[in-house]
Amino acid sequence: MKTVVFLLAAAMLAWGAPAYAEDIDLSTWSCQKFQSASKGDIEVILSWLDGYYKDEDDPPVIDTDKFVDNAKKLGEYCAAHPDIVWCQHHNGVFRSENAGANWREVAAIRPSKFGFTVAAHPRDKETAWFVPAVKDEKRIPVDGKLVVARTRDGGQSFDILTKGLPQRHAYDLVWRHGLDVDASGEILAFGSTSGGLWISENGGDSWAMLDARLPPVMAVCFSAI
CATH 3.40.50.280 for domain 83-225 = no
Cα–Cα distance, 115 to 150 (Å, whole number): 14
Q: Which residues contact 150 (CB under 8 A, 6 or more apart)?
A: 127, 128, 129, 130, 158, 159, 161, 203, 204
Confidence at residue 170, expressed as pLDDT on a 0 to 100 scale: 95
Q: Which residues contact 54 (CB under 8 A, 6 or more apart)?
A: none
Confidence at residue 59, expressed as pLDDT on a 0 to 100 scale: 78
Q: Which amino acid is at 72?
A: K
Cα–Cα distance, 161 to 206 (Å, whole number): 7
Cα–Cα distance, 89 to 99 (Å, whole number): 18
Confidence at residue 8, expressed as pLDDT on a 0 to 100 scale: 33
Confidence at residue 218, expressed as pLDDT on a 0 to 100 scale: 92
Model confidence over 55-73: pLDDT tens digits? 667 777 777 777 777 777 7
pTM reported for the whole predicted model: 0.67
Count of helix runs (H) and strand runs (E) in the chain:
4, 13
Confidence at residue 163, expressed as pLDDT on a 0 to 100 scale: 98
Confidence at residue 38, expressed as pLDDT on a 0 to 100 scale: 79
C-alpha distances (whole Å) from 15 to each of 12, 33, 138, 183 are 5, 26, 65, 42
Confidence at residue 5, expressed as pLDDT on a 0 to 100 scale: 37
Per-residue pLDDT of the chain (225 residues; tens, 9 = 90+): 444 333 333 333 444 444 554 677 776 777 767 777 777 788 788 887 777 666 667 777 777 777 777 777 777 767 666 688 899 888 899 999 887 888 999 999 999 999 999 999 988 889 999 999 999 999 999 999 999 999 999 999 999 999 999 999 999 999 999 999 998 999 999 999 999 999 999 999 999 998 878 999 999 999 866
Domain boundaries defined on the chain:
3-80, 83-225
Confidence at residue 46, expressed as pLDDT on a 0 to 100 scale: 80
